[in-house]
Amino acid sequence: MEDILRKLIDKNRNVTQEGKVATYIPGLGKIDPWDLGICVADMEGNIYKSGNYDKKFTIQSISKTISLMLALIDNGEELVFEKVGMEPTGDAFNSIIKLETIMPSRPLNPMINAGAIVISSLIKGRDEKEKFRRLLDFIRKISGNDKLNINEEIYLSEKNTGDRNRAMAYFMKDVGIIEGNIEEILDMYFKQCSIEVDCIDIAKIGLFLANRGVLPETGERVISERIARTIKTFMITCGMYNGSGEFAIKVGIPAKSGVGGGIMASIPHRMGIGTYGPSLDDKGNSIGGYKILEDLSNYLNLSIF
Ligand code: GLU
């Protein structure tokens, strides 16, 4: 397997030149655009890796799947989906437009920024510190890595420049979708996006979802089968931004990408995959990660359709 992965990295390294590293969060602009790495974690406990699989990057939008798991545990499905919808948007991840044009005015799904900010506001805890602590503990648990933490520089960089997210959050407070202190909620959201991971960490989270919410190493059930299924379904319908439909046809596996360059994929009953390549296509998906997943899916026949 590692042989195949190495070949796929070599084959697709050049593709990274066709994309661009995200610069709208200034801290992200400093990353090496050539990086490309992959890790596959399978149900038998094997970990296969190649390329820059151990480079650290910020999890960004992949964290939206994790906050959603916790919000569903904390509040139940009914309440969560009263505030956030289940439909793909066809718009960019940070688009504001549908917040006002669709009635009732609520974000269309939890994978776009507006929806994810609402989800962050639903995580329980005595204060902001405890809420984030719970999220961090949760991601440490499902990745099996108790060292995970935030990248302070990227967190501050986004906090200082995240005015579009700020605008959406205040708008949603005005129309009654979000309650509470908006700056504290945004702080939680910026922090969750700044958690630093590598390909192994996200491959293991993908594997945990592939194993229907049970940690393969210990057999512990952490989330219900229903929640695991909901997350994977959102990954299929909305996980690759407004390129999710094309990805479903070309690659056919539940996946969530982030503008930090990561893609977390989960192949039910088989494996979790983490890829990293910070050079992004025009939708915000890792251009190299996308190609490797497409090749691997064709080679191993991974499409779930
Ligand atoms: N922190 C990023 C933002 O809110 C996440 C975006 C992403 O990865 O899609 O803009």
| Atom nearest to 60 CA in ligand 1 | 8
Residue 2 neighbours by CB under 8 Å, 6+ apart:
48, 49, 50
**Mutation choice for ligand 1 from 21, 23, 25, 63, CB with most ligand atoms inside 8 A:** 25
For 156-174, what is each residue's pLDDT tens digit?
A: 999 999 999 999 999 999 9
Q: In this structure, what token pair is assigned to residue 145?
A: 């890595």
Residue that the structure tokens 């991840």 belong to: 93
Reported confidence tier of residue 274, pLDDT bands at 50, 70, 90: very high
The residue whose CA is least distant from atom 7 of ligand 1 is: 61
Q: H or E element: which one contains 156?
A: helix 152-161
Instruction: Please check the confidence at residue 93 and state whether its pLDDT lies above 90.
Output: no
Q: What is the DSSP letter of 29?
A: G
Query: What's phi and psi for 19, nearest 5 deg?
Result: -110, -170
Task: Give the residue numbers marked as catalytic.
Answer: 61, 64, 189, 241, 259
Q: pLDDT tens for residues 111-141?
A: 999 999 999 999 999 999 999 999 999 999 9
Q: Taking residues 7-24, report their average pLDDT.
A: 92
Tell whether the model's pLDDT for residue 98 goes beyond 80: no
Specify burial of residue 176 (Cβ count, 10 A radius: 0-12, 13-18, 19+). exposed
Average pLDDT over residues 185-204: 98
In this prediction the pTM is 0.96
Q: What 3-state DSSP class applies to 103?
A: coil
What pLDDT, on a 0 to 100 scale, did the predictor assign at position 203? 98
Token pair, residue 234, equals: 């959102």
Residue 101 confidence (pLDDT) above 90 = no
The answer on pLDDT for 63 being more than 80 is: yes
DSSP letters spanning 241-278: GGGHHHHHHHT-S-EEE-TTSEEEEEETTTEEEEEE--
Q: Which atom of ligand 1 is nearest to the CA of 93?
A: 9
Q: Which of 58-62, 161-165, 231-235 has the lowest mean pLDDT?
A: 161-165
Paired tokens of 78: 């009914």
Q: Which pairs with CB-CB distance under 8 Å and at least 24 residues apart come from 5-9?
A: 5/38, 5/40, 5/48, 5/49, 5/50, 5/51, 5/296, 6/50, 6/51, 8/38, 8/50, 8/292, 8/295, 8/296, 9/36, 9/37, 9/38, 9/50, 9/51, 9/292
Question: What per-residue confidence (pLDDT) applies to 90?
Answer: 77
- Quick one: pLDDT at residue 177? 92
Nearest CA to ligand 1 atom 6: 61
Tell me what pLDDT residue 183 has.
Answer: 97
* Residue 278 confidence (pLDDT): 96
Distance 303 CA to ligand 1 centre (A): 27
Q: Which protein residues are within 6 Å of ligand 1, measured from CB?
A: 60-61, 93-94, 113, 158, 165, 193, 258-259, 284
What's the rounded mean pLDDT across residues 219-226?
Answer: 98
What atom in ligand 1 is closest to the CA of residue 164? Answer: 10
Q: What is the mean pLDDT of residues 193-211?
A: 98
Res 169: pLDDT = 95
Res 43: pLDDT = 95
102: pLDDT strictly greater than 80 = no
* pLDDT average, residue stretch 25-51: 92
The pLDDT, as a whole number, for residue 295 is 98
Residues 97 and 167 sit within 8 Å (Cβ to Cβ):
no
Residue 27 is predicted with a pLDDT of: 80
* pLDDT value at residue 232: 98
Quote the mean pLDDT of the chain. Answer: 95
pLDDT score, position 78: 97
What domains lie within the chain, and their CATH numbers? 2-57+198-300 (3.40.710.10), 61-193 (3.40.710.10)
For 142-207, list the strands marked E by DSSP: 149-150, 195-197
